[in-house]
Structures are given as C-alpha cells and as structure tokens.
C-alpha cells in the first residue's frame, strides 16, 4: 500500500463558528494547533487525534474531520485562508484525489511515524482505550431545540449584558476550595437556554499581551425556565481557581472575577453554547449523571427541571441516578440541598477521595458498586448518561461503564456505539 493512497481523518476547525478563544491551542499536548490574526488551524502532520481539545472548545468548531489522502492533506497555509470549511469529499472525489475509501484496514499506513500513524484511520488504533470516542456529538432524540451562539463574534450582537442578582458561596467557608452559586439576569433581552448548555463570560481587562481576555466558559446550573421559575435568569456554579494544575499559586482571571461580583454588577456574556449535552424529555426517560466538583452544574439544572416537572404532576419521569465525587463532603457544592431530595426521586451516590480515615473512593468506584443498577440502565434504550467535571475522571468512568456492561454479559462495543449514535452518552470534562 503506497503512502499516496493512505487516507487520514484530518482534524480541521470550522472558521465560521470558532470564537478564537485559544482554548484548543492552550490545551493541545503536542502543539498541533496554531493561529494567525484570522484563523485557528490544526497541523495534520502533528495532530494525533488525542481528542483533548474537543470538549473544552466552547463552540464545537474544533470537532470537524475530513477524510483526505494523506499526501493531499490541507496545509496550514490553505487552512489559514479559509472563510468556511471545505465540503467533505465523496468516494469518487477521494479516489480521484489519489486516496481509497472503504475498508479502513486497507488504508493503514506502514510508516513508523507515531504521530501520523495515530491519525491514520486504521483498525490498529482501536486497541487503545479512548474514552472520547464514545462521547456523543448529537443530542438524544427527545431533547428540546437549543439556541446557540446568539451572542458572540459571529453573531449580530457581540455580547449581552447580564446583571448579577445573586452570589452565594456553596461550599464550606474557611477552606481553600471556594465555589459560588452566581445568578445572572438578562432583563428583557432574549437569552433562551437549556439544561446542559454553557455560556461564555468576558472578564474585563487585558491579558499579559495587552489583548482583551478571552471568554471563560461556564455550565448553566439552572433549568430552562430560570433559576427562579418564570424569570429570565440563570445560575452558574463557579470554583475560584487559586492554584494551577501543578499546584502553584495563581489567581484565575475569570473565576475570581465572577466569584468577587456583587449584586447589581454587570457582566458581558456570549453564547449560549452546546447543542448535544442536552437532556431527554420523553416520559420514562432515565438520566444517569456522573460528575465531580463544578461538573455538578448541568446535573443540578437537569435534576431541578425534572423536579419541577414532577411537582407539576404532568410528567412521568424515569429513573434519575447521580454519582457525585469530590475530595471531601465539605467541597461538594449543593451537598445539603442534594441530600434533601426525596429518595424516590433521585438515587444519589457520593464518592469521596480524601475523607479522613476512609478508603479513597472515586465516582467510577461508586459506579462499580452499583453495577447491577447501572447495567439495567445500560440495557434500557431510554437511558441517557452524562459525565461532567474533572478531565481526569473521564477515562475511568467510561472504562467502568464498559466493565459493568461486559460483566453483565453485554457487548460493550455494540452498546458504546449505540449510545454515541443515539446521543445518549455525553462527556464534558475540563
Ligand atoms: C465546557 C466547560 C464548562 C465549564 N464549566 C465550568 C463550571 O461550570 N464551573 C467552573 O468553575 N468552571 C468551569 N469551566 C472552567 C472555566 O471555563 C475556567 O477554565 C476556569 O474557571 C478557570 O478560568 P480562570 O480564568 O479563573 O483561570 P485562568 O486565568 O484561565 O487560568 C489560570 C491558571 O490556572 C490554571 N487553571 C485553569 N482552570 C483550572 C482549574 N479548574 N484547576 C486548576 N488550575 C486551573 C490555568 O491552566 C492557568 O495556569 C468549564 C470549562 C469548560 C471547557
Ligand atoms: S486532537 Fe489532540 S493532538 Fe489533535 S489538535 Fe486536538 S489536542 Fe491536539
Ligand atoms: S477552542 Fe474552539 S472556539 Fe476556541 S479557538 Fe479553538 S476551535 Fe475556536
């Protein structure tokens, strides 16, 4: 098989919806992303399809792929000039361009170049466990329609101004972890949102290079009809970042700006973002929520919407299961209110990894402890799974789901594929 005819799945960025927030370039572990004043682009010869940049991208513009003959991959120079993504090549066009389609195994490159080989479409790559491959990019069939990017660089209105109507600390006072429940009101301006969506906050001021700070993304923690039902407001759950990922002291720009806001302050917002991490709305649909820390925000939104529907007496929901992890109970946002929810409404399992005198327990351990219930839900086509929180949890959680399925005699490859295809397994880790 000649290198000419090797197909690659080339990673490309949609220039029409990218908000140039730099998140992907900052995150990419191999430096595959670069930009000029116009576009953010991916270097085909360096990207190894690790998927690290996918969930953090606030617009989804990074999650685009094009089958290309490796030798004819779009160059950086070409991509930097794009105003829109090129159309996907069909089989005939691919063949004409010097590539072959069909059986992926026949397109495998024999090159020893690890980086290139990883992005070659090949059955050989299937052996490594890649949790991101199971994450759906479409919503479940009964999700409501999500409005996205109503405000932002590409929208008619660049930002919307929100007024802070609440700022409450929701973790124990006096500890290093400091998480706030912040309520933003949009007055009479339209900002329709759904549970599972997020918004971008534009912190005032400039970065070290004298450029305006890029937007910081936060999940919406309230249901579609408002933090206060019938009001045009929403809530966020924001953890103050005071240490970087290496434990070094730092003062996170966006999180500290938000946590220090006073009632009455104005905030510049863009969004909403997200059109796939959305809850099912059909009767008897089950929701399994697996989260850590501020990953609880979308879970709070979904739970509260189901609670309001139940209170209305007009909706018959399915089972709700919540697996919620933190180092200690004191660090868990909304710990008290969650404990007060009726047991016949939501089945909650907490997992604490640093509780004094107790064995470390992570969300994936809690999942395994409830394997029989989780397996039953995996079998049920009415179940949607949502994973949100620390990036480090994602692989362990998806592996736990796989093991639970396999131990119950289920075919994980089939179930995992179906969950993705039906928009029923959603991963949002950051
Ligand atoms: C889809 C999505 C949803 C999100 N939802 C939420 C949410 O609901 N609540 C929430 O609090 N955050 C959420 N985030 C994270 C949020 O967008 C910011 O990244 C976070 O608040 C840090 O921004 P900052 O401006 O304070 O820190 P920055 O000024 O951007 O960073 C300062 C330093 O801290 C490091 N750093 C950044 N974040 C962390 C962290 N969490 N822990 C340790 N070090 C860090 C950076 O690498 C940098 O070195 C979400 C992110 C994504 C992608
Ligand atoms: S998939 Fe991984 S290697 Fe490719 S651009 Fe994204 S972070 Fe970089
Ligand atoms: S993270 Fe997404 S929106 Fe931000 S620069 Fe990258 S592709 Fe664009």
pLDDT of residue 119: 36
14 CA distance to ligand 3 centroid (A)? 9
> Catalytic site residue 384?
no
Q: Is the pLDDT of residue 131 over 60?
A: yes
Q: What is the C-alpha separation between 168 and 337, in angstroms, rounded? A: 14
In a domain, 226, yes or no: yes
Would the CB of 242 count as within 6 Å of ligand 1? Answer: no
Give, in degrees to the nearest 5, the angle at Cα 416 between 414 and 418. 65
> Catalytic site residue 151?
no
Residues 407 and 295 placed together within one structural domain of the fold: yes
Residues 280 and 387 placed together within one structural domain of the fold: yes
Residue with tokens 């270097």: 43
Q: What is the C-alpha separation between 332 and 322, in angstroms, rounded? A: 13
**CATH code, domain with 269:** 2.40.30.10
**Which atom of ligand 1 approaches the CA of 257 most closely?**
26
Among 241, 273, 305, the domain boundary falls at: 273
Residues 418 and 315 placed together within one structural domain of the fold: yes
In the chain, the number of structural domains is 3
Dihedral (CA of 417, 41, 277, 339) sign: positive
Containing structural domain, residue 45: 7-128
Would the CB of 21 count as within 6 Å of ligand 2? Answer: no
| Residue 62 CA to its chain's centroid (Å) | 12
Contact status, residue 162 vs residue 189, Cβ threshold 8 Å: no
| Residue 154 CA to its chain's centroid (Å) | 21
Candidate of 252, 257, 301, 326 to mutate for ligand 1, largest count of ligand atoms within 8 Å of Cβ:
252
Among 239, 273, 307, the domain boundary falls at: 273
Residues 236 and 303 placed together within one structural domain of the fold: no
Residues 334 and 323 placed together within one structural domain of the fold: yes
pLDDT in tens, 175-202: 778 999 999 999 999 999 999 999 999 9
Bridge partners, 198 (sequence order): 219, 273
Question: Does residue 337 sit in helix, strand or coil?
Answer: helix
Residues 287 and 420 placed together within one structural domain of the fold: yes
Residues 288 and 394 placed together within one structural domain of the fold: yes
**CATH code, domain with 335:** 3.40.50.80
**Which atom of ligand 2 approaches the CA of 28 most closely?**
7
Mean pLDDT of all residues in 44-64: 85
Q: Is the pLDDT of residue 336 over 90?
A: no
Specify the higher pLDDT residue, 120 or 352: 352
pLDDT in tens, 286-320: 999 999 999 999 999 999 999 999 999 999 999 99
pLDDT of residue 188: 97
> Catalytic site residue 111?
no
Q: What residue's CA is closest to ligand 1, atom 4? A: 218
For the ranges 98-107, 125-134, 352-361, the lowest mean pLDDT is seen at 98-107
Among 273, 300, 319, the domain boundary falls at: 273
Residues 161 and 248 placed together within one structural domain of the fold: yes
Residues 286 and 423 placed together within one structural domain of the fold: yes
Count CB atoms within 10 A of the CB of residue 268: 16
In a domain, 148, yes or no: no
Residues 190 and 54 placed together within one structural domain of the fold: no
Contact status, residue 223 vs residue 304, Cβ threshold 8 Å: yes
The 10 Å CB-count burial string (b at 16+, else e) for 45-68 is ebbbbbbbbbbbbbbbbbbbebbb
Residues 138 and 282 placed together within one structural domain of the fold: yes
Residues 253 and 369 placed together within one structural domain of the fold: no
The structure tokens listed for 300 are 């709070």
**CATH code, domain with 11:** 3.30.70.20
54 CA distance to ligand 2 centroid (A)? 8
From 385, 327, 403, select the one nearest 358 (Cα to Cα): 327
In a domain, 2, yes or no: no
17 CA distance to ligand 3 centroid (A)? 9
Give, in degrees to the nearest 5, the angle at Cα 184 between 63 and 228. 105
The DSSP bridge pattern shows strands 383-389 and 425-429 to be: parallel
In a domain, 1, yes or no: no
Q: What residue's CA is closest to ligand 2, atom 3? A: 47
> Catalytic site residue 147?
no
In a domain, 189, yes or no: yes
In a domain, 149, yes or no: no
In a domain, 164, yes or no: yes
- The bound ligand whose nearest atom lies closest to the alpha carbon of 222 is 1
In a domain, 151, yes or no: no
Contact status, residue 16 vs residue 85, Cβ threshold 8 Å: yes
Mean pLDDT of all residues in 243-269: 94
């Amino acid at each position: 098989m000649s290198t000419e005819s090797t197909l690659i799945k080339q990673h490309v960025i949609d220039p029409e919806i990218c908000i140039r927030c730099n998140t992907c370039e900052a995150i990419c572990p191999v430096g595959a992303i670069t930009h000029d004043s116009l576009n953010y682009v991916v270097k085909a010869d360096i990207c190894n399809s690790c998927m690290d940049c996918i969930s953090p991208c606030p617009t989804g513009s990074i999650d685009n792929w094009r089958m290309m003959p490796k030798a004819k991959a779009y160059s950086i120079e070409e991509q930097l000039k794009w105003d829109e993504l090129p159309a996907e090549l069909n089989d005939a066009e691919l063949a004409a361009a010097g590539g072959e389609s069909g059986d992926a195994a026949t397109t495998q490159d024999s090159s020893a170049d690890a980086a290139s080989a990883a992005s070659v479409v090949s059955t050989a790559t299937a052996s490594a466990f890649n949790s991101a491959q199971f994450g759906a990019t479409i919503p479940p069939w009964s999700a409501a329609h999500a409005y996205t990017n109503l405000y932002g660089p590409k929208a008619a209105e660049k930002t919307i101004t929100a007024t802070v109507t609440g700022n409450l600390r929701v973790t124990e006072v006096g500890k290093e972890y400091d998480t706030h429940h912040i309520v933003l009101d949009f007055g009479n301006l339209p900002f329709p949102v759904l549970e599972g969506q997020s918004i971008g906050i534009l912190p005032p001021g400039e970065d070290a290079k004298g450029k305006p700070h890029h937007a910081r993304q936060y999940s919406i923690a309230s249901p579609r009809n408002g933090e206060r039902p019938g009001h045009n407001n929403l809530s966020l759950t924001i953890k103050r970042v005071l240490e970087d990922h290496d434990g070094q002291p730092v003062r996170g720009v966006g999180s500290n700006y938000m946590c220090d806001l006073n009632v009455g302050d104005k905030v510049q917002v863009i969004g909403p973002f997200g059109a796939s991490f959305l809850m099912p709305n059909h009767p008897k649909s089950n929701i399994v929520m697996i989260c850590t820390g501020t990953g609880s925000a979308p879970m709070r939104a979904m739970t509260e919407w189901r609670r309001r529907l139940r209170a209305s007496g007009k909706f018959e929901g399915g089972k709700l299961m919540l697996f919620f992890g933190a180092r200690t109970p004191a660090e868990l946002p909304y710990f008290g209110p969650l404990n007060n929810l009726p047991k016949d409404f939501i089945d909650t399992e907490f997992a604490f990894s640093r509780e004094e005198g107790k064995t470390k327990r992570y969300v994936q351990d809690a999942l395994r402890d409830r394997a029989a219930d989780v397996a039953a839900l995996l079998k049920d086509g009415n179940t949607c799974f949502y994973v949100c929180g620390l990036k480090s949890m994602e692989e362990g959680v998806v592996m736990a789901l796989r093991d639970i399925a396999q131990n119950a005699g289920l075919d994980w490859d089939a179930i995992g594929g179906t969950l993705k295809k039906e928009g029923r397994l959603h991963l949002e880790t950051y």
